[in-house]
Amino acid sequence: MDERRRMSVVLWWLSLAVGVVALVASGSETWGSPPGQRAAPDSGSGVHARRRAAMVQSQIAARGVTDSVVLDAMRTVLRHRFVPDEHLEEAYDDRPLPIGLGQTISQPYVVAAMTEAMHAGPKDRVLEIGTGSGYQAAVLAEIVGEVYTIEILAPLGRRAESTLTALGYKNVHVRVGDGYQGWPDQAPFDAIIVTAAPDHVPQPLIDQLRVNGRMVLPLGRGEQTLVVLTKTPDGVKVEEQFGVRFVPMTGEAERRRPSRGDSTPPPDD
């Protein structure tokens, strides 16, 4: 083989190798993971990654969420893996979506805003009341050390746990049960997030929150307000955020619902 032909063969193989590398890169999605947890990469052409990037830019950052860690988590978590197949094309739309049994996966902006309001860090332990699809738990898992999440509806809890396991989240612990009493044997928690609306703040959740910890939850009957509670050595400080609409908190929260003329919940047994 003469020198010119040998050089042509080498260049052909080099161009083939470059093309393969480019093809692999364009068809994969990469992201960072916290220590001890690594989410499985998504398959496909990268369309979902582009839709997530657009979601974060137009729906979340544009509305004032600025925490770069939260924005990165929202770009990372595969929201389309947490919605039913019939809503796959709507997974990154600016609205909540039904997930069955009368429950929903929250609007992306609300997930991001609630997560930012928690001020949680990489070593924190967080309790979530209302696992639902598991999406909020996955977002938290990208940010904090450990997530403990409780779902009252067994089919949803089992499905969420299966999805989170399939995606490789090792720092999320799922329990099926009534979240009103929290998770006492894992308390105290650095932050608590409630993704269903009670009309009073469950005292057991306040008890399980560390001093200087924050609880984020929708509060109210009918019209609801997202509130942030900060537990201080002297009591609880409450800050109202904005109006929201979540499914009602069921179970013990319903039994302890105060009458319309009484804003004080019944005493804990």
Q: Among residues 106, 133, 162, 263, which one is catalytic?
A: 106
CA angle 229, 196, 31 (to 5 degrees): 85
Cβ proximity of 152 and 179 under 8 Å: yes
Asked whether the beta carbons of 74 and 62 are under 8 A apart, the reply is: no
Task: Dig out the tokens for 46 from the structure.
Answer: 């990268």
Identify the three-state secondary structure at position 130: coil
Q: Which long-range contacts (CB under 8 A, 24 or more apart) does 159-164 make?
A: 159/133, 159/134, 160/82, 160/131, 160/132, 160/133, 160/134, 161/131, 161/134, 163/81, 163/82, 163/133, 163/134, 164/134, 164/137, 164/138
Rounded to whole angstroms, how far apart are CA atoms 56 and 87?
19
Residues 39, 21: Cα–Cα separation, whole Å: 22
Closest CA to 117 of 198, 238, 250: 238
CB 71 within 8 A of CB 112: yes
Peptide bond before residue 188 is cis, with ω within 30 degrees of 0: yes
Q: Is 162 part of the annotated catalytic residue set? A: no
Supply the residues annotated as catalytic.
106
